[in-house]
A and B are shown apart, each in its own frame.
Chain A
């Protein structure tokens, strides 16, 4: 299994600003993922982050709004750009190793005012 940490755990931001969320895995992993979870809802995949290549975004999510970095095999960042109240959500990072299952971080709870 993989142990995943995220920073910050929560934040309150003003509209129009940007927030970068960091995700750290305790071991090298091939693939990392970023999800959004609205309160009381299921998980929606934003993008897949592969080391050394551009992130792959799901329908409805674009790189200008959610730029992602994956500088090495243990770390990734997701930026939520030009935020609006509709971006208030829980953002989760997950990791997959050797085509095993996905393990999730604790999440970042974002409130945009």
Chain B
């Protein structure tokens, strides 16, 4: 089955700097890659996603890039703010619509 690895496990950045979280996947048939943000005491919230026919997608300060050849995708957050502090999970989704989650990245934005 699919194996999704996520790095780093923890990340601290100064407010206003950029943050990048990377994920790799093993199943070349995976075709959908969502990213979730989980704040303390809450459930995961979908923040952006990308499908395998697209290389990059952007939504305001958040962007996701996908390299199908290398089988990796990344989340980019620019101009970080304290409210961006949370745990972020990537996921790879195969053609059977099974979700495989990464191990999470705890992002801390230092004011």
Contact = CB atoms under 8 A, between A and B. Distances in A.
B61 interface: no
B98 to A, nearest CB: 8
B99 A42 contact: no
B110 interface: no
A101 B49 contact: yes
Interface stretch (A14-22, A60-68, A76-84, A104-112): A104-112
Contact of B42 (A1, A43, A103, A107): A107
A76 to B, nearest CB: 15
A103 B46 contact: yes
B103 A92 contact: no
Given A92-B43, A92-B44, A105-B43, A42 B101 contact: yes
Contacts of B45: 104
Interface string B75-111: 0000000000000010001000101011110000000
A77 to B, nearest CB: 17
B101 A96 contact: no
Interface of A: 1, 4, 41-43, 45, 92, 96, 99, 101-107, 109
Interface of B: 32, 34, 36, 41-46, 49, 89, 93, 97, 99, 101-104
Given A43-B44, A43-B89, A105-B43, 16 more contacts: A1-B46, A41-B104, A42-B102, A45-B99, A101-B34, A101-B46, A101-B49, A102-B34, A102-B46, A104-B36, A104-B43, A104-B44, A104-B45, A106-B42, A106-B43, A109-B41
